Amino acid sequence: MTAVFTEATRQAMRRSLLSWYGQAGRTLPWRNEPNIYRVWISEIMLQQTQVKTVISYYERWLKAFPTVQNLAQADQQTVLKLWEGLGYYARARNLHYAAQQVVTEFGGQFPEDLEAILQLKGVGRTTAGGILSSARNLPLSILDGNVKRVLSRLMALDRPPAKALKELWQLSDQLLDIENPRDFNQALMDLGATLCKQKNPSCDICPWQSNCQAYQQGTPTDFPRKAPKKKIPTKKLVAAIAFNTQNKVFIQQRPVTGLLGGLWEFPNIEGELKPLLDELFPNAVYQQSLETVFHAYTHFKIELTPKIHTVKNSEGNHWVKISDLDQYPFSKAHLKIIEQLRKING
Ligand code: SF4
């Protein structure tokens, strides 16, 4: 079911949203920020992460890399270390790559038009709209997760948002206040994040209550419609925590592309540990198991059981003291193992 808003209704909706935003909008470090590089960083961090988590990462990042040139010159390990714990690590690798694109392809000047900015790795249409409306007040609409939820409810959309992107983009375009795109987009994001929440939306104080079909039907939380759930498989993994005679532990780096690319980890394998031990530490002696670690990624979950072994002959470079592990970027699951190792090692 498509909502049809007349231009007069759309104008009234813009006014009511902006008036609510004037009173209830959030104060955020990147808001009204004219530095387009900073706005870009915030937009990428916010793609899959909530504001309250992003703020401290954003501040630390800008201390380490105050300019796009600083980011372009950094080594990938430093970049990943600053991203550690934020998840979806391709975002960090893409930021790093795109900073190098800015330096090599755009003469060090962050691009300021839509076509150019879309050439940067990791920047799609909604991120480009977010950056250019926020930093330059350009009339470009957005369609992030929060906005999809608000618009789906306004329209009482009968399909999951992923199946109706064209209509959702159209509605976002139609509603956009081209006189004031910066505030309008920020207000729309705030509405989604603070009132039109997934659970328990605050419809009683929503400026768009009288325009919202889901509210009129009395069923806002029935929207957005969900795609049928796929069963998420669980992988049972075992990690070899190998200590050498100097009490150093073995770590390895994942390939730079793909899931958790470039991060460090303890060697691990699905199923039995023996083939991995035979390959890496044939004379390893089992000592003890640590608590199993659980973690959920987008398409699967893991149960990771760390098993401590001692090893007499240790070769290679990647034997590290427990106290030095924090110099390397690890995924959340392996950070949970490190926490346990620290407790054991005092
Ligand atoms: S009335 Fe409720 S469901 Fe509709 S947009 Fe407002 S908060 Fe969301």
38 within ligand 1 shell (Cβ under 6 A)? no
Coil, helix or strand at residue 249: strand
CATH architecture of structural domain 234-344 = Alpha-Beta Complex (3.90)
User: How much of the chain, in percent, has pLDDT values that exceed 70?
Assistant: 99
Q: Take atom 2 of ligand 1 and give the residue whose Cα is closest.
A: 203
Return mean pLDDT, the chain: 94
Give the pLDDT confidence score for residue 1 in this predicted structure. Answer: 45
CA-to-CA dists, residue 213 to 4, 5, 19, 69, angstroms: 11, 11, 21, 48
- When pLDDT is averaged across residues 320-336 and rounded to a whole number, the result is 94
Active-site residue flag, 43:
yes
State the Cα–Cα distance between residues 296 and 302, nearest whole angstrom.
6
User: Which residues have C-beta within 8 Å of that of residue 66, sequence separation ≥ 6?
Assistant: none
Higher pLDDT, 196 or 261: 196
346 pLDDT band, cuts 50/70/90, is: low
151 within ligand 1 shell (Cβ under 6 A)? no
Select from 205, 209, 217 the residue to mutate for testing ligand 1; criterion: most ligand atoms less than 8 Å from CB: 209
16 within ligand 1 shell (Cβ under 6 A)? no
Select from 21, 148, 152, 196 the residue to mutate for testing ligand 1; criterion: most ligand atoms less than 8 Å from CB: 196
220 within ligand 1 shell (Cβ under 6 A)? yes
Over 80: is that where the pLDDT of 234 sits? yes
Give the pLDDT confidence score for residue 16 in this predicted structure. Answer: 98
Question: 7-222 with 234-344: one CATH topology?
Answer: no
Over 60: is that where the pLDDT of 2 sits? no
Select from 190, 213, 215 the residue to mutate for testing ligand 1; criterion: most ligand atoms less than 8 Å from CB: 215
153 within ligand 1 shell (Cβ under 6 A)? yes
338 within ligand 1 shell (Cβ under 6 A)? no
Catalytically annotated residue among 43, 265, 272, 291: 43
pLDDT per residue over 253-276, tens digit each? Answer: 998 888 898 999 999 999 999 999
Sign of the alpha-carbon dihedral angle for 254, 262, 127, 103: negative
Q: Contact 29/56 with Cβ under 8 angstroms?
A: no
The residues spanned by each domain of the chain are 7-222, 234-344
The owner of tokens 């909008």 is 25
How does strand 301-310 pair with strand 285-289? Answer: antiparallel
Q: Tell the CATH topology of 7-222.
A: Endonuclease III; domain 1 (1.10.340)
Give which of 265, 252, 243, 251 is closest to 314, Cα–Cα: 243
